[in-house]
Amino acid sequence: MNLFQKLAKIRGITNVVEKNKEGFKYKYTDITEILAKVTAGMKKYHVSLFPTVTPGTAKVVQSVTHNTKVDKTGKAYDNVATEMLFSADAIYRWLNDDNPDEYLDVPWVLVGAQSDPSQAFGSSASYAMRYFLINFFQIATPENDVDAYRSKQKEAEASEDKAVAEEIIKRLDEEVREYIADNQDEAPKVKKLVSKYVKNGEYFRIKEPKLAAKLYEEFESTFKTSGENKEGN
């Protein structure tokens, strides 16, 4: 597989992770939960990820915020918070371990604020990695019901499969009708062929794209191709 095919396989492994941590009055997904799935896929499909800070872009500035708060007596006061804000541009490089010449560079950004510059950098790196992986692999992070999300995902996939199958069957129906109109004595043979795929030859009941495509191909090769050969002879 090439790098893009491998990344697609990893996406299939990491498509949903539950929000399992709470802090600052909101729920979030722990980076370890995400990394556990992503690194498992990376190991299986021989892919590496190299995050790097773009040289010359790192900045540390002091951020001072003023918030009005109320003490126990109900008296308002000005609360001053001082933090160190770290920011930098970054590149996340995906590398195909089986072919190191094949890689994908994704531009990203690091932003973090803490009381200490080194802590601000650590926060920025951790948050950036989490949100990079969530966005790159389109990882869903429901708050509690992972199974419900997967159920909705399967419903969407089934709906799409049904639409694709219906389009194939529509083309098949047009060709079957046209073929039988010109070759009425071949109708029983056509029905026998279709009955191999669906009961009583009712091909409109087929909802799987692969099955519909296989039937369409066999009909073409059995009747349309043979008919063309007869005409050529």
Element (H or E) spanning 81, and its range? strand 76-96
User: Residue 160's domain spans which residues?
Assistant: 149-232
Please check whether residues 178 and 227 belong to one and the same domain.
yes
Please check whether residues 115 and 170 belong to one and the same domain.
no
Most confidently predicted of 40-44, 90-94, 131-135, 209-213: 90-94
**Residue 158: pLDDT band by 50, 70, 90 thresholds?**
low
Point out which residues pair with 103 in neighbouring strands. 95
Residue 24's pLDDT is: 46
Please check whether residues 115 and 187 belong to one and the same domain.
no
- Domain assignment present for residue 72? The answer is no
Q: What is the pTM of this model?
A: 0.55
Hey, what are 151's tokens? Answer: 């159920």
Q: What are phi and psi of 83, to 5 degrees?
A: -135, 160
- Domain assignment present for residue 77? The answer is no
Hey, what are 34's tokens? Answer: 């995400």
Summarize pLDDT for 61-78 with one digit per residue, the tens.
998 877 777 878 888 877
Hey, what are 195's tokens? Answer: 């009955």
- Domain assignment present for residue 122? The answer is yes
Please check whether residues 119 and 221 belong to one and the same domain.
no
Higher pLDDT, 218 or 146: 218
Hey, what are 89's tokens? Answer: 């541009």
The number of domains in the chain is 2
- Domain assignment present for residue 78? The answer is no
Residue 109's pLDDT is: 96
Residue 4's pLDDT is: 96
Residue 60's pLDDT is: 93
Please check whether residues 15 and 94 belong to one and the same domain.
yes
Output the CA–CA distances (angstroms, integers) from residue 210 to 146, 191, 218, in the order listed.
28, 19, 12
Summarize pLDDT for 103-119 with one digit per residue, the tens.
999 999 999 988 888 99
Please check whether residues 121 and 175 belong to one and the same domain.
no
Please check whether residues 182 and 198 belong to one and the same domain.
yes
pLDDT above 60: residue 149: no
Please check whether residues 139 and 154 belong to one and the same domain.
no
Choose the final residue of a domain: 79, 111, 144: 144
- Domain assignment present for residue 22? The answer is yes
Please check whether residues 108 and 217 belong to one and the same domain.
no
Residue 153's pLDDT is: 47
pLDDT above 90: residue 93: yes
- Which DSSP symbol is given to 24? T
Please check whether residues 153 and 138 belong to one and the same domain.
no
Can you tell me the distance from the alpha carbon of 23 to that of 26, in angstroms, rounded to the nearest whole number? 6
pLDDT above 50: residue 233: no
Please check whether residues 217 and 177 belong to one and the same domain.
yes
Summarize pLDDT for 12-30 with one digit per residue, the tens.
877 666 555 454 455 556 6
Please check whether residues 204 and 108 belong to one and the same domain.
no
Summarize pLDDT for 176-202 with one digit per residue, the tens.
999 999 998 989 999 899 998 988 888
DSSP, collapsed to helix, strand or coil, labels residue 87 as strand
Contact between residue 14 and residue 139 where contact means Cβ atoms under 8 Å apart: yes
Higher pLDDT, 107 or 206: 107
